[in-house]
Structure 1
Amino acid sequence: MTAFNRRQFLKLAGATSLVAAMPRSLSAATPLSNRVVIIGGGFAGATAAKYLKHWDNTIDVTLVEPNATHYACILSNLVITGAISMNRINLSYDGLRNRGVKIVQALATAIDPVGSKVGLSNGTTLDYEHLILAPGIDFINPNPAGAERLYDPNLTPHAWKAGPQTTLLKNQLAAMPDGGVFVMNVPKAPYRCPPGPYERACIIAAYLKRKKRRSKIIVLDANPDIVAEPHTFGTAFSQTYAVTLEYHANVGITQVNSSLKTIDTTIGALSADVLNMIPNQKAGQIVFDAGVVNDPTGRWATVDPLTYGSTVYENIYVIGDSQATAQPKSGHMANSQAKVCVDSITRAFVGETSDPQPTTNSACFSPITETEASWSTAVYQYDPTTHSMKRVEDSFGEAAEPSSENYEHMFHWADNIFADSFR
């Protein structure tokens, strides 16, 4: 951890609002075709749609999203413990509509990369000049072949896509008897929101200390150590929640039985009253369907970080959680990547080259107790030698300790990124 201080962090955390005031100056050239289709209406897709219209209102932008609204994963852990309501994280697409974005409530079912067409679940087809894929994550069944059906997320919810799963886990936690055991896991990195599982463990431990004092939470981490904010979460686990929380690192999961709420692991079999199973993750299915998943793990799409263009098809882009650039998979980072991608597309429409040295950043707050939060941040800069995004080490850090002031700033940060992405 560096000496990166709170003032520097707050400047980065609020940087999303600054970009909106600085649209890039475009030439007067009129493109022959300016159709952009975006698949996925999370932070990546929504930000891309907004800034395409903000930076060049002549671009024809269509956002394809099966849900009527978006439930943000940001702050969603607080819904599980009842600290906030689901309405607090329910984000409307009306702001995008007001900017001229066409919202199509449907599921993208097929992509023709040669004919530049997208097939939808409503039977229609969309043509595109540029296609942005931003479907977020999908999950890998934790069970071995032949035992896949033993895992059922409706019985052992992941709550790693906010919405009905969040409510399901909240209700299970509320119904858990005093003296019960809450078992959760941390998936193998990379996964969506690096601090998220540890944050969830902390606030559920806080909830148990207040509501169900004889209960405990067991955290099974697939990684060899805490992935994000190791000082903050390590201190919370070993001191703040030493009695309530049991943490195990480097744990492999061999089988989950959702009906019985049992989990077989490399440290033994466990039974739970509530089993919060967060599977390992991969790119959204439509990215596989498009044929652009090509990283060495077979889970993510390799892209050119100058544009976020696929290395397979030059007019297909992948932003947010589904891409493979080794940057954190987070809402803030998705927002940042979307702007780099959109800047490249708007330049391409008028015959300009992409920014040769883009910068992205990821900043977030994490609730540690019911009244205190921490923060972490990192800036990434394009390295022309390796053609990759490299973390700027002086920008990397976490808060010295949680505080009530950070807890208040957490909501301002969330509202800022909500507005910058969806309004």
Structure 2
Amino acid sequence: MERRNFLARLGAYCAAAGLPAFALADDDHDDDRRGSTRPGGNPSTLPVTGLTGRVVVVGGGMAGAAVAKFLRLWGGAGVQVTLVEREPRYTSNILSNLVLTNTVQMSSLAFDYGKLAATYGITVVQGEASAADPVSRTLSVATASGPRTLGYDRLVVAPGIDFAYPDGLQTAAAQALVTHAWTAGPQTTTLRDQIRAMPAGGSFVMTVPPAPYRCPPGPYERACVVADWLKRNRPGSRVVVLDANPAITAERESFTRAFEQTHAGIITYVPNAPVVQVDVGARTVHTAMGPFKGDVLNVIPTNVGPKFLKDIGVANADRGFAQVDVLSYESTAAPGIHVIGDASATTQPKAGHIGNQEGKVCADAILRIFAGGAPDPAR
């Protein structure tokens, strides 16, 4: 059954009961999450669909926020949704490359979780998820006020990515000097300041991690953005792109033209150059293609699954990511646990818009299960 037919049946149920169904609409454009974080209520705009269930979502990024929102929007007031997120605000990785040139300010990329709570009745818990018990279906969370245990019928995990740092970058001190800036935040502004401090004729050396990694075109976009700024502000400077992959992994024709024509003489692209070691003091990246010295180093490490996936028993794919059934994003290792966004191992790119769509597919599947059915079959 297609989702629109499933939702139509829910709407028919609401109509038969004399209840509002208009909130079942797919409101894709309602994504502003600014506001103050507070416990979720039961907004009168949500329908009563007859569905009941408890869902806990770990991670408030693009995938986690989407699944939380659409569980309530489509499932209605009887579906209780709790979002567990370590940070009080979400900072978007999208557009963060433009922070490096001061075109965009970090403050414009920050969003809190107030609207999820106020409009959709989602309970937001600021804390760190530490363990899950798939038998008792409980999640342990460390919060500022002490440990909490949250019960669930379905657990959705969207923790994003972590990094496997190369030799030379395994201490906090080294990482403070050579940043990845691949999770938008303080490292982004640090890298911006380092670029602005470059001398004319300087070198910006950056790396591209082995695929799969978050935002496939992102490193190449960064190279172009930095090259454009250096061209106008630091004459004679260059950008060296050390790619662990054998070729450009996304939009190859466009970026090849950008490297060889638009930024000819500024960008040097080196494929098959995985990082072997980083000498922070000498500002040198050692690769399979030799050493490269720069005034600024931007090393994006290999992307891996967060430790939390292993802790809850779902890290059953390469690099600690989670294998899932893409009809529901339920883990193939732990029934009742769904993994969406960058943490899942699928053939889809690790990208924000993909995470958003995965959240909707996952929400739809969970609601079908709560209704006594099965996820929408592939066609």
Normalised by the length of structure 1, the TM-score is 0.76
One of 91, 103, 107 as aligned partner of 2:111: 91
Are 1:143 and 1:150, in contact at CA under 8 Å, matched by a contact in 2?
no
2:55 paired residue number: 36
| Structure 1 portions without partners, runs of 5+ | 1-17, 358-381, 383-423
Bigger Cα Rg: 2
One of 334, 349, 370 as aligned partner of 2:370: 349
Structure 2 runs not aligned, ≥5 long: 1-24, 30-46
What SS is found at the alignment partner of 1:19?
coil
Shift of 1:69: 0.8
Q: Within the alignment, does 1:79 sit opposite 2:99 as a pair?
A: yes
CA contact (8 A) 1:150 1:256 kept: no
Question: Given the alignment of the two structures, is residue 322 of structure 1 paired with residue 362 of structure 2, yes or no?
Answer: no
SS of the residue corresponding to residue 154 of structure 1 reads: helix
Match of 2:232 in 1: 210
CA distance in structure 1 between the partners assigned to 2:235 and 2:277 by the alignment? 29
2:163 counterpart residue number? 139
2:79 alignment counterpart = 59
Q: By how many angstroms is 1:27 displaced? A: 9.4
Deviation at 1:213, TM superposition (A): 1.2
User: Residue 15 of structure 1 corresponds to which residue in structure 2?
Assistant: none
Does 2:39 correspond to 1:20?
no
Aligned to 1:112: 133
Structure 2: how far apart are the matches of 1:28 and 1:253?
Answer: 53
Q: Structure 1 residue 152: deviation in Å?
A: 2.6
TM-score (norm 2): 0.84
Structure 2 Cα separation of the partners of residues 40 and 150 of structure 1 = 24
> 1:19: Cα distance to partner?
3.1
Q: Distance in 1 between matches of 2:141 and 2:295?
A: 40
SS at match of 2:320: coil
Provide, for residues 278-315 of structure 1, a one-character-per-residue CA deviation record: whole Å limited to 9, x for no partner.
000111221121111112x2431000001000001110
Q: Distance in 2 between matches of 1:28 and 1:218?
A: 56
Aligned length: 334
Please tell me whether residue 172 in structure 1 is matched to residue 194 in structure 2: yes
- Contact kept, 8 Å, 2:210 with 2:302, in 1: the verdict is yes
**CA-atom RMSD in angstroms:** 2.0
User: Does structure 1 retain, via aligned residues, the 8 Å contact 2:49–2:75?
Assistant: no
The residue aligned with 1:197 is 219
Q: Which consecutive aligned stretches of 4+ in structure 1 deviate over 3 angstroms post-superposition?
A: 26-31, 147-151
Cα deviation, 1:301-343, whole Å, max 9, x if unaligned, reads 0000010000011100000001111100000000001100000
Determine if the alignment matches structure 1 residue 289 to structure 2 residue 311.
Answer: yes
Query: Partners in 1 of 2:246 and 2:351 — Cα distance?
Result: 21
Distance of 1:288 and 1:35 partners within structure 2: 23
**Contact 1:185 1:277 (8 Å CA) reproduced:** yes
Quote the residue 2:249 is aligned against: 227
The alpha carbon displacement at 1:261 in A equals 2.2
CA contact (8 A) 1:253 1:265 kept: yes
What's the CA shift string for 1:339-385, capped at 9, x where partnerless?
Answer: 0000000111111221112xxxxxxxxxxxxxxxxxxxxxxxx6xxx
In the alignment, which residue of structure 2 is the partner of 1:47?
A: 66
2:291 to 256, 259, 269: 269
Is the 1:143–1:151 contact (alpha carbons within 8 Å) kept by the matching residues of 2?
A: no
1:325 and 1:318 map into 2 onto residues whose CA distance is: 11
Deviation at 1:28, TM superposition (A): 4.9
Q: Deviations over 1:107-137 (max 9, x none)?
A: 1112222221111122111111110000000
1:312 has 2:333 as partner = yes
